[in-house]
Amino acid sequence: MRYSKLFPKTIKEAPSDEVSLNAQLLLRAGFIRREVAGVYNFLPLGLLVIDKISNIIREEMNSTGAQELKLAALQNKESWKTTNRWDSFDALFKLQSRYEHEYGLGPTHEEVLVPLVKQSLSSYKDLPLYLYQIQTKFRDEARAKSGILRGREFLMKDLYSFHADEADFDKYYELMKKTYMNIFKRLGLDAIETEASGGAFSVFSHEYQVITDAGEDEIIYCPGGDYSSNVEISKVKEGKQCDLGHGPLKKAKTIEVGNIFPLGTKFSDAFDLTFKDAEGKEKKAIMGCYGIGITRLMGTIVEVHNDEKGIIWPESVSPYQVHLVGLSEDADKVYKELEESCIDVLYDDRDDKSAGEKFADADLIGIPVRLVVSKKTEGKVEWKSRNSDKTEMLTVKEVVDRLCSEE
Ligand code: ATP
Ligand code: MG
């Protein structure tokens, strides 16, 4: 991609009322633009990152046997009445049509999926069933000051599992815990599995929390150990010695990037979602739900991976693999050669910008590898990682070998 053609370009300063670091950096670097408070437009660079995050999540969900679908965002009011959530789900946007209808604007999808599964579920042979989607959610959040960490419109992966019995549910829940940790690792995040309240559904749930001061949550955890609990439910205090791990329990601010819940028969009861077991007896399906905030993850990655110059994307989600800064005419040829290899290139081909301006933009945008072609590089290419000051001189072939052999 030629940067001269890319929509839009970097800007010097984010709007002064944009207080969160993730939104400031993403706005300045040209990944997002704000529509209204809590609602953002995702621009070409931003969409590339969202798609990379989504695809990693997809791969991991598919590996558990789950099937992807896409559910309605305009939801049936009657279903929300059935679960008694039409009046009790505070953040539900209610939409009045110009005809007689009223709709819920999907903040979550139990009310859509459970009636849908009910149409097809008859026997224990239909179970277990794992269905997920990557969908825009709408929530009338009270505060939207954290950029894309808390949107009124945001992208979520939500999976719902249906089981014949608790033991089968437990097995899948444990598999999901492992799968979630894989996902966060692949995204370059250290997430801590944290005990949390089950809300209205069950006695407990598990949250995946990433430590950063930008977080709105707080956990008490055992560094290097296996204990972490949301402060909202924690029975122990900071400073107490850990059972397993290094030193005393610590408190930290965190971002909740994912949340998995046992739902029991709460929704199966509401919609009478039953199946016949092996003896022909009618039973209620046991359910679980598993959410991950995709746009929140993007914001979290920016909050965790940045420096004073800009963003530092992990390779796995970077919009392009390399940022080629062209400072002489030879750069066009190098761009073509790289494009013909396996490499995705963002090529700064502008002829009206100084080297300094181009380097500053490369640092702000945050692609993990910067390549420079100039008169000084004499037929070679200067390689620099975004998170290091060290430079190396390589031939184009060496660059290609290095990046294409990693695949
Ligand atoms: P929170 O406690 O932060 O409000 P939640 O517990 O209500 O979130 P869930 O219903 O569990 O959220 O949603 C699953 C995931 O979706 C969350 O773990 C989070 O990553 C993401 N998410 C929830 N609300 C938002 C939001 N307003 N903006 C962006 N992501 C969100
Ligand atoms: Mg949650």
The tokens for 297 are: 């993850």
The tokens for 21 are: 């670091």
* Residues 196 and 204: beta-carbon distance below 8 Å: yes
Would you state the pLDDT for residue 407? 52
Record the pTM: 0.98
Would you state the pLDDT for residue 199? 83
Which of 289, 373, 286 is CA-nearest to residue 337? 373
Residues with CB under 5 A from ligand 2 (ion): 259
Would you state the pLDDT for residue 317? 98
CA distances from 140 to 23, 106, 153, 298, 406 (A): 19, 11, 8, 21, 43
Would you state the pLDDT for residue 405? 79
Q: Compute, in angstroms, the gap from residue 59 CA to the centroid of ligand 2.
A: 23
* Residues 296 and 148: beta-carbon distance below 8 Å: yes
Q: Compute, in angstroms, the gap from residue 32 CA to the centroid of ligand 1.
A: 20
Would you state the pLDDT for residue 29? 98
pLDDT one-digit tens code per residue, 362-379: 999 999 999 999 999 999
Would you state the pLDDT for residue 225? 87
Residue 143 in 3-state DSSP?
coil
The best mutation among 296, 298, 301, 303 to test binding of ligand 1, ranked by most ligand atoms within 8 Å of the C-beta, falls on 296
Would you state the pLDDT for residue 333? 97
Would you state the pLDDT for residue 226? 86
The alpha-carbon radius of gyration of the chain (Å, integer) is 24
Residues in contact with ligand 1 by the CB-under-6-Å rule are 108, 139, 141, 150-151, 154, 156, 256-259, 291, 293, 295-296
274 — phi, psi (to 5°)? -125, 165
The tokens for 161 are: 């599992």
In angstroms, the CA 384 to CA 259 distance is 37
**Ligand 1 atom closest to the CA of 205, numbered from 1:** 11
List the chain residues with pLDDT less than 70.
Answer: 406-407
Q: Compute, in angstroms, the gap from residue 378 CA to the centroid of ligand 1.
A: 51
pLDDT one-digit tens code per residue, 111-157: 999 999 999 999 999 999 999 999 999 999 999 999 999 999 999 99
